[in-house]
Structure 1
């Protein structure tokens, strides 16, 4: 995956928000992002997310693949609530009921970046946080 934005997604917000993630295989599992950021209670920026994921939803270090799979299930074929162009790609935020490892459900926000490399669109989950409303 390239480091920069690889466009060709259309020029309107409406077009970008309507692009749905349809296949689990289109969402790349990134162990570093899951384990070293989202589930790492010592990470300077990720520790609040790790605390939320552990205390509320029961995910802990070592649960990265389970967390990834549950997040992907939650966003498949869903429309995003926010779309933003960044230097890394198009960032989309999804708001949904997330099911924890402990079966607790809470409204959460899942943020994905999607890029097009060599003609193939790939998605990466980059953030998860509770909805404040």
Structure 2
């Protein structure tokens, strides 16, 4: 398996973190916020979560590539997310590469718990 291309330049929106992934009030994000809170993440330490997601971008492995014409490519990765309580769960992250981006920078779409094997 391969690593995410241009992982060191990955774009991770602070809004995506604070208004979606760690927002217990968000209609779709609340289950993710509950999951991450079990491992010590909250809005109070969203900067630490951001850094862990940056690490995840380069440390996780590609498990799926989907072409999404005419928009670009979605890549799913799986890896261990560094957490405050050091339990570091396996998660899947969705990254999108916009067709019109000449730098080919991955943009974080979502993060979910990995499926149990």
TM-score of the superposition, structure 1-length normalised?
0.73
Contact persistence 2:77–2:92 (CA under 8 A): yes
Matched, 1:49 2:32: yes
Aligned pairs, how many?
Answer: 115
**Structure 1 counterpart of 2:4:** 20
Write out per-residue CA displacement over residues 85-109 of structure 1, whole angstroms, 9 at most, x where no aligned residue: 2365311111112221221121111
**Structure 2 counterpart of 1:114:** 97
TM-score of the superposition, structure 2-length normalised?
0.81
Query: Quick one: which of 95, 103, 108 aligns to 1:125?
Result: 108
Pair 1:104–1:118, CA change in 2 (3 A): closer
User: Max radius of gyration: which structure?
Assistant: 1
What is the deviation of 1:74? Answer: 2.1
Aligned pairs for 1:1-133 within 5 A: 20-24=4-8, 26-55=9-38, 57-76=39-58, 78-86=60-68, 88-117=71-100, 119-133=102-116
Structure 1 residue matching 2:104: 3-state secondary structure:
strand
What is the deviation of 1:36? Answer: 0.2
What is the deviation of 1:33? Answer: 0.6
Which residues of structure 2 form unaligned runs of 5+? Answer: none
